[in-house]
Amino acid sequence: MLAEVARADVADVDRAVAAAVAALPAWRALAPAERARLLHALADALAAHQEELAVLEARNAGKAIGDARGEMGMVIDTFRFYAGAPERLLGDTIPVAGGQAFTVREPVGVVGLITPWNFPLTIAAWKLAPALAAGNTVVLKPAELTPLTALRFAEIALAAGLPAGVVNVVVGPGRTCGQRLVEHPDVAKIAFTGSTEVGRSIAAAAAATIKRVTLELGGKSANIIFADADLEAAAAAAPLAVFGNAGQDCCARSRILVQEAALERFLELLEPHVTALRVGDPLAESTQMGPLISAAQRDAVASFLDDGASPAFRGSAPEGPGFWFPPTVLAPVDPGARVAREEVFGPIAAVIPFADEAEAITLANDSIYGLSGSIWTRDGARALRVARAVETGVLSINANTSVRVTTPFGGFKQSGYGRELGPHALDAYTEVKTIFYATEG
């Protein structure tokens, strides 16, 4: 057993919210430079604990240690980036008759943060850093399966000088503790990352108190590969774009759309990259992919193969204890198949052929989701045409990246609303207030 954690109940959530309410006036009133200093101190403290946090995350989530180190690097960078924000929360001056009108940004108040188990501290940091920078206090409810780095984060924040009550963590079930945060009258906003199903219920429940809500939900992203692309590069990059984090990634490019003229060659190039993936002990330095998070998740992933789909080729996975599932490529897949329509959240890729640019766009958009995606082509004009036509929040051309600290991230359609990261995240943690000062008689 890794750890035993006390399970919070609704009364604990209420105590955490009360602590956040009590801490709010002093935190929002801090001089901007002082709030910035504390966030830099927190980033320094996280950097000092980076390896400890990476190992804790790798053990709790079963993710490859190299990935966990990279994720902790992003956590630190996120706090550094938003440490610049308190002194840059600019407003507007607007010409009006009879005086001066201007806007200021106020914190929304106490923010409830509800996060998933796939990138536990990283996704929490995307919410914590802009929320705190803007002068809010927070109650973080991490996923039941992966609470350990959130709990350690709270200790590190306190030791770094953040006042008690500014960051509160409650570990408990979503349907009790999460639900209480969503319903609590003293919580002004919920920032949620998780499944589309739970996001839908949160949006409905939040309506009762007109809470602000931002939702980062599921995805079924398309990796579109045209015949004129650098096929070697596209094939080398495709596996980790869907099998990274064992496919438990909302941005997983789990639909690989390949132009018919290049299909055979692309599959030939892809296979050795899939079979070469190093799947194994998350704490081994060479590991690229670990196990799935739970037996339930493994069963859910395996059910996509029960539908009769037969793999074109698969990578390897260890025998023995652990929720292992080998990287699996299905080809060719009918766009109507369940594996082409539903989020797998595991290491299965569906290769779907297309004839031309118009069909590629139609297929890419034939989804309730719209989170991420990629376009591989040597034709620059086509790349831009397709990028504008695909209905997703984040796209890469000749690359498979989705997330950077400095650029906005979020979904179209049922992948959610609101943006995290970059300068845009601050909009979701502030209210715009308009002030008019009369200058006549």
386-425 residues near ligand NAD, rule: CB under 6 A: 411, 416
The answer to whether residue 343 forms part of the interface with ligand NAD (CB under 6 A) is yes
Minimum CB separation of residue 172 from ligand NAD in Å reads 8
Kindly state the tokens that stand for 260.
């018919």
| 8 Å CB contact between 360 and 262 | no
Active site residue 216: yes
Minimum CB separation of residue 158 from ligand NAD in Å reads 22
Among the listed ranges 68-76, 88-96, 178-186, 271-279, the one in contact with ligand NAD (CB under 6 A) is 178-186
Kindly state the tokens that stand for 323.
């929720």
Select which of 57, 71, 177, 216 is catalytic.
Answer: 216
Helix axes 148-159, 32-48, angle to 10 degrees: 130
Residue number with CB closer to ligand NAD (86 or 410): 410
The answer to whether residue 63 forms part of the interface with ligand NAD (CB under 6 A) is no
**Contact residues for 199 (Cβ-Cβ < 8 A; gap 6+):** 192, 215, 217, 416
278-317 residues near ligand NAD, rule: CB under 6 A: none
Residues β-bridged to residue 280: none
Measured distance between the N- and C-terminal CA atoms of the chain, rounded to whole angstroms: 74
104-123 residues near ligand NAD, rule: CB under 6 A: 114-118, 123
Residue number with CB closer to ligand NAD (271 or 420): 420
Task: Choose which of 124, 267, 360, 371 interacts with ligand NAD (CB under 6 A).
Answer: 371
Distances (CA, A) of 403 to 279, 355, 393: 24, 30, 11
The answer to whether residue 345 forms part of the interface with ligand NAD (CB under 6 A) is yes
Judged by DSSP in three states, 436 sits in strand
Task: Choose which of 137, 193, 288, 400 interacts with ligand NAD (CB under 6 A).
Answer: 193
Minimum CB separation of residue 123 from ligand NAD in Å reads 6
What is the pattern of x (binds ligand NAD, CB under 6 A) and - over residues 233-252? -----------------x--
- Exposed, middle or buried by CB within 10 Å (0-12, 13-18, 19+), for 397? middle
DSSP string, 54-67: HHHHHHHHT--HHH
Active site residue 87: no
Task: Choose which of 195, 275, 316, 365 interacts with ligand NAD (CB under 6 A).
Answer: 195
Residue 339: which region, alpha, beta or left (left: phi > 0; alpha: psi -120 to 50)? Answer: alpha
The answer to whether residue 201 forms part of the interface with ligand NAD (CB under 6 A) is yes
Identify the DSSP state of 413.
E
Residues of this chain that interact with ligand NAD (CB under 6 A) are 114-118, 123, 141, 143-144, 174-175, 178-179, 182, 193-195, 198, 201-202, 216-219, 250, 343, 345, 371, 411, 416
